[in-house]
């Protein structure tokens, strides 16, 4: 499988580089702060059933969940885009365990089923 290339910041024109580097930096700071200070973090949006599933799965494992919600399907999409750009993960929820992105709800379920979640804890 071919890796997805990432555009090097040196290949972004200096006139727009600052805009790219600071795109919703406040949101990314909220996310990184939550990840640094909590064992289990779920980043999501309203009305998405997978977000609720991820939170329930973590709670069933006895984990306190820090949940960050950024809008719904028609609101705060730019903020969610910034999170996707930062993490490289294309969907929500985004689940972090001890600072490691483990994917979404179905990925979390697989980790629980195989016992690999315990290895991250």
pLDDT band at 9 (very low <50, low <70, confident <90, very high): confident
**CA-to-CA dists, residue 113 to 19, 40, 42, 58, angstroms:** 42, 17, 19, 13
Quick one: how far is CA 49 from the chain centroid? 16
- Sort 8 into a burial class: Cβ within 10 Å, 0-12 / 13-18 / 19+: exposed
Q: Which CATH fold would you assign to the domain 9-120?
A: Glutaredoxin (3.40.30)
Token pair listed for 48 = 């998405």
Quick check: 6 pLDDT over 90?
A: no
* Crossing angle (nearest 10°) for helices 77-87 and 25-37: 60
Quick check: 13 pLDDT over 90?
A: yes
Identify whether the C-beta of residue 87 lies closer than 8 Å to the C-beta of residue 101. Answer: yes
pLDDT for the residue numbered 105: 98
Question: Where do we find the tokens 């200096």?
Answer: 14
The pTM assigned to this predicted structure is 0.92
**Span 29-50, average pLDDT:** 97
Q: Mark 34-67 as b/e (b = at least 16 C-beta within 10 Å).
A: bbeebbbbbbbbeebebbbbbbebbeebebebbb
Quick check: 1 pLDDT over 90?
A: no
């Amino acid at each position: 499988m071919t890796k997805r290339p990432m555009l090097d910041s040196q290949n972004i024109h200096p006139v727009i580089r600052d805009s790219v580097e600071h795109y919703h930096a406040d949101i990314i700071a909220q996310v990184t702060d939550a990840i640094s200070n909590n064992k289990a973090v779920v980043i999501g949006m309203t009305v998405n059933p997978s977000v609720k599933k991820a939170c329930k799965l973590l709670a069933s494992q006895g984990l306190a969940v820090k949940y960050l919600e950024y809008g719904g399907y028609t609101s705060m999409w730019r903020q969610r885009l910034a999170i996707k750009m930062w993490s490289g993960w294309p969907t929500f929820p985004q689940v972090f365990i001890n600072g490691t992105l483990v994917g979404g709800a179905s990925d979390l379920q697989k980790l629980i089923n195989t016992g690999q979640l315990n290895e991250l804890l």
